[in-house]
Amino acid sequence: MLALAGVSVAFFALPFAGLIWRAPWSKVTDILSEKSVGTALWLSLETSLITALISCIFGVPLAWLLARVNFPGQSFVRALATLSMVLPPVVGGVALFFSFGRRGLFGQYLNDWFGIRLPFTTAGVVIAQCFVAMPFLVLTVEAAIRQLDSRYEDAARTLGASRLYVFRRITLPSIKPALVAGVALAWARALGEFGATITFAGNLPGTTQTMPLATYLALESDPEAALILSMLMITVSFVVLVGLRDRWLGHQRNDLVS
Amino acid sequence: MTTHFNFSVTQGDFNLKIDASVNDGEVLAVLGPNGSGKSTLLRLLSGLQQIDTGHISSRNIQWDSPTDDIFVEAQQRRVGVVFQDYLLFKELSAVENVAFGLRAQGVNKATAIEQARALLQQVGLSEHLHKKTPTLSGGQAQRVALARALAIQPHLLLLDEPLAALDVATRQTVRRDLRRYLSSFQGAVVLVTHDPIDAYALADRVLILENGQVMQIGTLNEVTAHPRSRYVADLVGTNLITGHASGVTLTTSTGITVVLADQADGDVFAVIKPQAITIVTSNELTSSARNTWPGVITDIDRSAERCRITLHGPLPLVAEITAAAVESMALRIGDEVFAVVKATEVEVYSR
Amino acid sequence: MRRLASLVMVPIFGLVFAGCASSDDTTTSLRIAATSSLTEVFNDIGEQFMQANPDITIAFNFASSSDLALQISQGLPADVFASADVKNMAKITAAGLLHGQPVAFATNSLEIVVEKGNPLHIDSLAQLATRGLLFVTCPIEVPIGGYTAEVLRNAGVTVTPASLEENVKGILTKVALGEADAGIVYRTDILAAGSSVAGVPIADNVNLTTKYLVGALRDSQNQDASQRFISFLSSEQGQKIFSQFGFGPA
């Protein structure tokens, strides 16, 4: 077991070790001080955080619905909500065109009635990220709600609490660790999103060019910059993920044991 | 004012059909073996589940009536529930648990906490107000659960095996206290239990639920005097015989005859109290008793000066004799003996 | 440093490409890395070439010239490289990865691609600067991106793109879906796309003639087959196919 686990660790660690090894460290400051890098990083953080927030607002109720309410077609809805995890992101991007594009099923009305256009906009980036990232939150939170003893929620209802109140006061505090994990996963997925973004939102510095796009395109023009950009993304994600784990998950775990 | 329930509900192969009512100020105990439908009944009364047909109403307000398309959800019924393992909210303190229902209904925090504090004082827990509930003892948790259910001033109070989670020592104290709280409660109470002692101690009437059907309903005396099922007879600790009577003879379905003192006819139950049975080691003796059945001793249960002897034979019986008699006769498990019963000790009532 | 940059990517492409190659002893498997604007014409060329040369099977790897140049420099197993511009071929030549000299085999020119029916009635490069018009192109490192910049410069038009796509197909897809209003692509792309888009010619005085170059790669074990393929491109039969697809002679 330990040996196999060790292989896994090495498998995950080696690519990063490779990046660190080959990164042109002497040029780090030059590359990072370029305005375009800051722009892409800021756009990535901004869009991925908005995605995490939106995933939370819409994903948690969906997770609750899937875990706690029996309705016809439930498994169909669950499959639907997680479909984008298996869909190649580029295909997802094209599907978003067909739905939210200005000629799309829904997007045409947005465009004709409200003059709202999503492709090639920062909002489009968020849409693309939500499409691929939200399932991670939904699945994590749904599993956590499922594992909860629903009788506590029943008890709260007999005390006169509405479904919303029960959710807020009983369900939510109990699934906090899973919620944090789900948000972190969705955020990380959004931060690394490439395929759906470049397809649906396009690629324009300052508007839709997030770090993964900038990194990928820099591979052609300036491979050294691409390496540094990758290192920067890895560092930011690593700090946030480790920080979240220590601060929230570790803390919560102790609470549960006591 | 009364809570009525007359309904039927089917879950898979299981059908639960109950017609009963409980008055304000009255405690109805629902007794039944596991799987008899007791828990489902509580879910239906509390509004966590819907009935298929019939109706449930409380104080002339319909709570559940499928034909009228009426279903009042749990949060809108005034039903207090004390759950089997209390289900106190772990993240909240005792007083916050009790205040939960008031807060949920929009009472402001200070008022809710004040009322909760008063309730906890009434149940003698004023020293543990701010303890997180997982640190409370079983008896304390039970009282917090009761206070929490009473805080919403329910019209109907449901108790699901309120003493089952406690150890034997605490159970007696808590049962006594519960009796006191229940006697001051204005609304109707439904107490679900599988322990007849709870019913004896707390209930005014008893409903016997078996396999989703009401077997018996009545005062404790009525039910224990004339058990109508083996389950009740076992609960009461008496021998129940089912058969067909003709003249002064009762014949069981297995062909055993029981001589009766009085004439009876038709399908009947007969009870023989364990104390009325004499054990003899030989049937050669002449006796005035009209009934003698062979049996093998399968169990001897000694408590203080009395022993309950379980006999396995054509007619399974439980006899109660003194410990001294067991000693002098040197009775052991496996001994072949005879049970002797006077016809006058066989009480017969129609099925 | 360039080598190191795409260490991560190359094994993946390499695996895919190697998987396409046949390991049959009696036939030679020729792996051709070609710019994506040649996709349709090369598929035809490939079929006819294999009919004429039954001992050779061809496997194509289509991507943007700049992607391919990068991958080849990282050891992408390929026998022939066909580039859409001189610059990317020059990278390979400069790196000493080419066997012999590159050969020009076809030319192309540029056209404005618009949604079918040309709903915005675009008829000149100047109109691409219209406010609110969604123009998509590629980064200048990609040949079409560089050519687009050159053509617009020739015409004295400044356009702010809505997006910089990965390659020509990205531009075509977005215009065909109606999500972008216009782009500049190769004339042959518009022909190949059929009725899904429409083309608007660019005035000759500002348009470009772009050159396609092909060369055999130094590390190839199939130099003979590579040369036969390269010759086929310039043959009468090959040139006929190119002209069918709208390409000009070299």
The mean pLDDT values, 10 residues at a time, for chain A of 258 residues are: 91 87 84 84 94 95 91 91 88 90 88 87 95 94 92 94 92 90 91 92 91 85 82 85 67 41
Is the CB of residue A170 less than 8 Å away from at least one CB of chain B? yes
Is A158 contained in some domain? yes
Looking at the fold, whether C9 and C121 belong to one and the same domain comes out as: no
**pLDDT reported for residue B225:** 86
Looking at chain A, which residue has its C-alpha nearest residue B82?
A155
Angle, alpha carbons A168-A171-A176 (nearest 5°):
95
Is the CB of residue A162 less than 8 Å away from at least one CB of chain B? yes
Burial of B28: CB neighbours in 10 Å, binned 0-12, 13-18, 19+: buried
Domain with A131, as residue range(s), is: 35-86+120-192+206-257
pLDDT grade for C31, boundaries at 50, 70 and 90: very high
Residue type, A91: V
Domain of C218, CATH number, reads 3.40.190.10
Structural domain total, chain C: 2
Looking at the fold, whether B268 and B175 belong to one and the same domain comes out as: no
Which is more confidently placed, A252 or B285?
Answer: B285
Looking at the fold, whether C50 and C83 belong to one and the same domain comes out as: yes
Looking at the fold, whether B144 and B20 belong to one and the same domain comes out as: yes
Looking at chain A, which residue has its C-alpha nearest residue C134?
A120
Is C35 contained in some domain? yes
Structural domain total, chain A: 1
Distance in Å, alpha carbon of B136 to nearest chain A alpha carbon: 14
Structure tokens that stand for C245 in this block: 């697809």
Looking at the fold, whether B94 and B178 belong to one and the same domain comes out as: yes
For residue C161, which residues of chain A lie inside 8 Å, CB to CB?
A: 204
Boundary-marking domain end, from B190, B211, B234: B234
**N-term to C-term CA, chain B:** 33
pLDDT grade for B250, boundaries at 50, 70 and 90: very high
**pLDDT reported for residue A238:** 84
**pLDDT reported for residue A251:** 47
Looking at the fold, whether C16 and C101 belong to one and the same domain comes out as: yes
Contact assignment for A161 to B100 by CB distance below 8 Å: yes
In chain B, % of residues over pLDDT 90: 66
Looking at the fold, whether C150 and C102 belong to one and the same domain comes out as: no
How many Cβ pairs closer than 8 A exist between chain A and C?
77
**pLDDT reported for residue C5:** 40
Looking at the fold, whether B163 and B68 belong to one and the same domain comes out as: yes
Looking at the fold, whether B144 and B37 belong to one and the same domain comes out as: yes
* C194 conformational bin, left if phi > 0, alpha if psi -120 to 50, beta if neither: left
pLDDT grade for C213, boundaries at 50, 70 and 90: very high
CA atoms of A109 and B72, how far apart (whole Å): 41
Looking at the fold, whether C103 and C215 belong to one and the same domain comes out as: yes
pLDDT at C61 over 50: yes
pLDDT at B293 over 50: yes
Q: Calculate the average pLDDT of chain C.
A: 87
Residue type, C3: R
Q: Among residues C153, C29, C147, which one has the least CA distance to residue C88?
A: C147
Looking at the fold, whether B84 and B217 belong to one and the same domain comes out as: yes
CA atoms of C188 and B183, how far apart (whole Å): 94
**pLDDT reported for residue C25:** 57
Distance in Å, alpha carbon of A255 to nearest chain B alpha carbon: 10
- Lowest-confidence segment of A27-31, A127-131, B67-71, B210-214 by average pLDDT: A27-31
Distance in Å, alpha carbon of A18 to nearest chain B alpha carbon: 46
Boundary-marking domain end, from B206, B234, B262: B234
Is C80 contained in some domain? yes
Looking at the fold, whether B203 and B252 belong to one and the same domain comes out as: no
Looking at the fold, whether B68 and B22 belong to one and the same domain comes out as: yes
Distance in Å, alpha carbon of A69 to nearest chain B alpha carbon: 13
pLDDT at C23 over 70: no
**pLDDT reported for residue B287:** 77
Torsion sign, CA atoms A100, A102, A104, A109: positive
pLDDT grade for B197, boundaries at 50, 70 and 90: confident
Looking at the fold, whether C103 and C40 belong to one and the same domain comes out as: yes
Average of per-residue pLDDT across C217-226? 92
Is the CB of residue A156 less than 8 Å away from at least one CB of chain B? yes
Domain with B79, as residue range(s), is: 2-234
Structural domain total, chain B: 2
Is C249 contained in some domain? no
Looking at the fold, whether C122 and C178 belong to one and the same domain comes out as: yes
pLDDT at B111 over 90: yes
Domain with C198, as residue range(s), is: 108-209
Is C205 contained in some domain? yes
Looking at the fold, whether B158 and B289 belong to one and the same domain comes out as: no
Angle, alpha carbons B253-B257-B261 (nearest 5°):
125
Interface test with A, best of B48, B97, B158 (most A CBs within 10 A): B48
**pLDDT reported for residue A247:** 61
Looking at the fold, whether B72 and B207 belong to one and the same domain comes out as: yes
Residue type, B192: V
Do the two chains C and B touch, given a threshold of 8 Å on CB pairs and at least 3 pairs?
A: no
For the segment B15-60, what is each residue's pLDDT rounded down to a tens digit?
999 999 999 999 999 999 888 999 999 999 999 999 999 999 999 9
Of A154, A160, A170, nearest to B89 by CB-CB distance is A170
pLDDT grade for C4, boundaries at 50, 70 and 90: very low
pLDDT at C169 over 90: no
**pLDDT reported for residue A249:** 56
Domain of A58, CATH number, reads 1.10.3720.10
For the segment B94-108, what is each residue's pLDDT rounded down to a tens digit?
999 999 999 999 999
Domain of B256, CATH number, reads 2.40.50.100
Domain of B38, CATH number, reads 3.40.50.300
pLDDT at B8 over 90: yes
Looking at the fold, whether C123 and C134 belong to one and the same domain comes out as: yes
Looking at chain B, which residue has its C-alpha nearest residue A172?
B91
Looking at the fold, whether B153 and B36 belong to one and the same domain comes out as: yes
pLDDT at C73 over 90: no
**pLDDT reported for residue A153:** 93
Looking at the fold, whether B77 and B209 belong to one and the same domain comes out as: yes
